[in-house]
Every structure is written in C-alpha cells, then in structure tokens.
Amino acid sequence: MKIKKRFVVFIFFIIISLFLVFSNDEIMRSLQLSILSQSIHRDISCYQKLSTKDSFPRFDIHKENIRLAAGRNIFFHETSCFGELGHAELNYRQACAVESAARMNPNMLVNLLFLSPSSPSNRTSLILEKLLEYENVRVNRVQINEYVMGTPIEQWFAINILETSNWPRSHMSDIMRFLTLWKYSGIYLDLDVVVTSSLEDLTDFAGAEDWIDVAAGVIGFSRTELGRSIANACIQDLMKNFRGNLWGNNGPGVITRTLQKFCAVQHVKDMTSIHCKGFKVFPPAVFYPIFYKDWKDYFSTKNINETMNVGSKVPYALIAEKYCPNVYESCGSIF
C-alpha cells in the first residue's frame, strides 16, 4: 500500500512539473533566446576565417608596414563578426566618424579595419563609396593571426585569451587599439567619435573621460622615444592585467594604469605634461564634453530620442551636417 501511495505521489509531481514547463512556454522561449543571443555576441570564430573574393581587401602586412611607416595615421576598428547578419555592416553614424576624420585631416591616412571576412551589405557598400571619395581613406580586412605575428602579444594571444572574456568583441577592440598603435603609431579613434578639428599636430596624448579614468576612445602614440615608451608599457600592462570579467579593465584601465606609473601620480588631474614627461592628458571637456552616462544630450533639444531625423536641430545632427556631409546627405530621412 505504501509503495502504491509513493508511486501516485511521484506521478503527481511529474504531471505538475510538466504542466509548469508547458504553461511557461513563453518564459522558456525567452530564456532560450537570451542564451542564444549571448552565444551569438560571444562568437568570435570569424577572426580565424579566411577572406573570400567578396571580403574587404586584405590588409597586406608588408605593404602596409611601408605605407604607414611615417606614423601620420588614424585608425578605426570594427571587431564585430556579423554572423547573425550575414553581411558586414557599417552604420551611418560610424561612417560619419570616419568621414569627419578624413575631412579634417587630409594629410593623414585614415584606416578602417574590419576583423570579419564577411562581405559588406548593399547599404554598407553605398556608404563605403562615399567614404572612399576621400583619397586618404582605406578600408581593409585584418587577419588577426597574421596581424599579431612578430609582436609582443603573439604568444599571449595564441593561448586564446579572449575565451576568458565575457565581452570578447569589445575586448578584442581594446587589444587592437594598443596593438595597432604599437605596430604603426598614430591616432586611434572609436567609431562614435566625430572629429571637428585637425588632429595633425597632436602626437602623444589621451583624453580624460572624467577625473578618475583616462579614456581609451581617443589616443595617440608617436614614433618618438616617448611614444614608443608609452606604447610598450600599454602592451605589457594589457598582457599582465587582462581581465575578461571586467568591462573597462582592458581599455581605459590599461592607459590609466600605464600613465599612473609613467607619470608617477595616482590622480588624473595630476597627469600634467611635466609629470608625464611631455605626454599630454587632455581634460574631459576636450574629447568628452558630455559625460558618457548623459549621452542622450547629444540627441536632444528637449525630449528628442536617439532616433534622429535628418534636418533636426539636435546637437549631433548639426555636427554631422557640418563634419560628415557626404554621409549625412546620403542617409535618407533617419540618421
């Protein structure tokens, strides 16, 4: 009798469990989609894939070593894989950053480097046509294993360090900026930076995001002894202190820690050119006039949201119209 009761209770719990699972089918689907989304955004398998005939032109290490040797370079990196999209995408605002850099710095080489071998979408191809109207713009695909060869991070990168990262694409961007400036020198810019004045006279510099951290969204290292010292120190810090579970540790964290040691000070406000032996740390108002947490202010006169109509008089639209006119005029009604 006791065995029969236990069996009935067991069957009851099985039925209840099945009921809960199927009645919460929407929750299960949401959970599955969340897991799938995280898996997609952590996928960096494209970095190892070979280019195809439809990929962006290959970044030829030997030719580029000669072309970029003078150090008058501006670099942008796109580290997405695009597997979920099928084609490489560059949106209008990212293109605005590239155009503004080329427009305001005609004597510098502006390099847009993709890590994915994906071919560009039709829209992106049209955008790139506008960018390539500038003679100083180049768009290439970097094959990362080739790119790291002969550099201090070659063996470190080969242990698949990005597998430890919660945000591998973002942390790949961090690695790329310091590696690129170590290899070639010049200026690195994030793809959300609109350039409104010439950068041609800037050499060794960074910008404070606030008075706590030096940002890594706009940085420049020259070929001078000073620039090489900072570039080497950043690479060493990156390898020593890389943390895959900390978002900002490998970008702003690297340049902040490096300058704290190099300048022998702890606080950003004390990172003067004298303390930093000629390296310039610009105050937040220069490169980051609106604090990053208040980013919506760029898109608002009073209450306009981040989807911006062409012709609107929000700050970002006015800046784009002036500094990236080709892209701005070609984007249709929404920028």
- Burial class from Cβ neighbours inside 10 Å (0-12, 13-18, 19+) for residue 330 reads middle
pLDDT tops 50 at residue 35:
no
Identity of the residue numbered 199: L
pLDDT tops 50 at residue 223:
yes
pLDDT at 224: 97
Structure tokens at 55: 């990929």
pLDDT tops 80 at residue 251:
yes
Task: Report yes or no: 133 and 97 within 8 Å, Cβ to Cβ.
Answer: no
Element (H, E) at 73: strand 73-78
pLDDT at 331: 74
Q: Quote the Cα angle for 230-228-157, to 5°.
A: 75
pLDDT tops 70 at residue 301:
no
Confidence category of residue 9, pLDDT binned at 50, 70, 90: very low
Q: What is the pLDDT of residues 62-87, one digit of tens each?
A: 999 999 998 999 999 999 998 756 89
Confidence category of residue 333, pLDDT binned at 50, 70, 90: low
Q: Kindly provide the b/e burial profile for residues 256-282, where b requires at least 16 CB atoms within 10 angstroms of the residue's own CB.
A: bbbbbebbeeeebeebeeeebeebbbb
Share of the chain above pLDDT 90, in %: 71
Task: Report how far residue 50's alpha carbon sits from residue 55's, in angstroms, rounded to the nearest whole number.
Answer: 9
- Give the dihedral of Cα atoms 136, 140, 145, 149; nearest 10 deg: -20
Q: What is the pLDDT of residues 281-299, one digit of tens each?
A: 999 989 886 544 544 444 4
pLDDT at 324: 96
Domain with CATH 3.90.550.20 in the chain: 61-287
Task: Report how far residue 291's alpha carbon sits from residue 284's, in angstroms, rounded to the nearest whole number.
Answer: 8
Lowest-pLDDT range of 27-31, 160-164, 165-169, 247-251:
27-31
Classified by CATH at the fold level, domain 61-287 comes out as: Spore Coat Polysaccharide Biosynthesis Protein SpsA; Chain A (3.90.550)
**Average model confidence (pLDDT) across the chain:** 85
Strands 186-189 and 205-208: unpaired
Share of the chain above pLDDT 70, in %: 78
Confidence category of residue 316, pLDDT binned at 50, 70, 90: confident
pLDDT tops 90 at residue 28:
no
pLDDT tops 80 at residue 326:
yes
Structure tokens at 190: 């994030």
Task: Report yes or no: 95 and 131 within 8 Å, Cβ to Cβ.
Answer: yes
Confidence category of residue 327, pLDDT binned at 50, 70, 90: very high
Q: What is the pLDDT of residues 256-278, one digit of tens each?
A: 999 999 999 999 999 999 999 99
Q: What is the pLDDT of residues 89-111, one digit of tens each?
A: 999 999 999 999 999 999 999 99
Q: How many CB atoms lie within 10 A of CB 24?
A: 12
- Burial class from Cβ neighbours inside 10 Å (0-12, 13-18, 19+) for residue 291 reads exposed
Task: Report how far residue 310's alpha carbon sits from residue 201's, in angstroms, rounded to the nearest whole number.
Answer: 33
pLDDT tops 50 at residue 248:
yes
Q: What is the pLDDT of residues 152-195, one digit of tens each?
A: 999 999 999 999 999 999 999 999 999 999 999 999 999 999 99
CA 52 from chain center: how many Å? 24
User: Which residues does residue 219 pair with via DSSP β-bridges, in sequence order?
Assistant: 188, 206
Strands 214-221 and 186-189: antiparallel
Give the chain's count of helices (H) and strands (E). 13, 7
Strands 186-189 and 73-78: parallel
pLDDT tops 80 at residue 126:
yes
pLDDT tops 50 at residue 306:
no
More confident residue, 91 or 23: 91
Element (H, E) at 107: none
pLDDT at 288: 83
Confidence category of residue 310, pLDDT binned at 50, 70, 90: very low
DSSP state of 88: B
Task: Report how far residue 277's alpha carbon sits from residue 286's, in angstroms, rounded to the nearest whole number.
Answer: 21
Task: Report yes or no: 102 and 110 within 8 Å, Cβ to Cβ.
Answer: yes
